[in-house]
Structure 1
């Protein structure tokens, strides 16, 4: 803001025209300067806006290039010694991580093998015990079968002997000539 005079000196017919004209000339000069400054600021703002757009475009291009470079492995011959050292350290760290993972996997596999072997041993022990029990039961059943067969054969022999004895007791002593058999009613009479 321009400082305005508090008042103009008064003359016979109003204010002093020369002072008012001088002041107005100063105001116009100030307005021209401010307009020039404003136009320069607008031009600079437009230039900066264009520059900002260029920087943004360059940044996007660099980001895309960076992403591409990060995704593709670096050629060791095309990098500086420092980058080559960083790549070597990264490779060594990756190898160490892989070794650690392999060791952990081997430990897990060994633990799984031990558990599998323990379970197999327990299963074999149970199977052998059950097989032994089954074989003992088979031997018992075979002994029972053999005794039963022996007893049945003895019973058959006893029955055969008893049938012979019964047959001998029921048959009349041998006669020279056997009379004709009486019919059933005559047998009933004889028995009565």
Structure 2
């Protein structure tokens, strides 16, 4: 029996050897089918959590790209100086004032860019932390669900074994009694 990671978690056995008066086959088969359904639900929950992590990672990448574009635009604006030497005095003064205003605007833009970068980095860290927390939560939920299912399956199998052993002991005792009656 092959196991596909997206559809089956544990290859559960859906058949049991038949014993004379050993167990109710339909009841055991129904129980195992229910266990397999529960395992598929746990797998679907895990897959949904993985999809959410992927969405968060894509969102983080988009924010990083937006930040890069903003930084490139700021850099391009800052690199276009005007040479005031070839201009008349009045225009030179206007250029000087414009240059001062440009420096002020650039300084404000750099401050805003630094704030945007800091905010983007904070968002990035938050998204990374959230994604890591979701991954850990999904792993822990999966581990707990599997532990509970495994314990429940082992308990059920132990009960079936005990019932079969009791039935076998009873049948052996009856056979011995009948044999002693026949021998007598």
- TM-score of the two chains, using structure 1 as the length reference: 0.40
- TM-score of the two chains, using structure 2 as the length reference: 0.41
Q: Which has the greater radius of gyration?
A: 1
